[in-house]
Amino acid sequence: DAKTTQPPSMDCAEGRAANLPCNHSTISGNEYVYWYRQIHSQGPQYIIHGLKNNETNEMASLIITEDRKSSTLILPHATLRDTAVYYCIASNDYKLSFGAGTTVTVRA
């Protein structure tokens, strides 16, 4: 799996969009970008994934740059329940390598 780099922490205001960056400059052509999050004391939860195109689901949007060297996870309207550690993972097989992630704190 390609190495990913994320900021260690970020704050955002409740109700505002949260934009979480991830660098994966060595990503290979067949590696997907996955995002998971881990709310305190729970197992990680899948959020979204993408290969080349931007993706949106009921939880978030994923914007991948054209050169695929970076991506941004967007939580459109952050709530207090979105406070968690967010992991960006680049992978082309069944194994997921979790980095340190970004600790996101949503403040009222």
Partner 1 sequence: SAVISQKPSRDICQRGTSLTIQCQVDSQVTMMFWYRQQPGQSLTLIATANQGSEATYESGFVIDKFPISRPNLTFSTLTVSNMSPEDSSIYLCSVGTYQRGYNEQFFGPGTRLTVL
Judged by CB under 8 A, the stretch of 13-21, 22-30, 62-70, 97-105 that binds partner 1 is 97-105
Among 21, 23, 49, 69, binds partner 1 (CB under 8 A): 49
Contact residue for partner 1 among 19, 25, 26, 45 (CB under 8 A): 45
Residue 43 in contact with partner 1, rule: CB under 8 A: yes
Q: What is the DSSP string of 7-54?
A: -SEEEEETTS-EEEEEE-TT--TTPEEEEEEE-TTS--EEEEEESSS-
Question: Angle at CA 25, nearest 5°, toward 22 and 28?
Answer: 110
Q: Report the residue from 32, 61, 69, 72 that binds partner 1 according to the rule CB under 8 A.
A: 32
Answer yes or no whether residue 91 interacts with partner 1 by CB under 8 A.
Answer: yes
Question: Closer CB to partner 1, residue 14 or residue 63?
Answer: 63
* Angle 17-59-36 from CA coordinates, rounded to 5°: 100
Token pair of 29, please?
């052509």
Which spans of this chain sit near partner 1 (rule: CB under 8 A)?
A: 32, 34, 36, 41-46, 49, 87, 91, 93-101
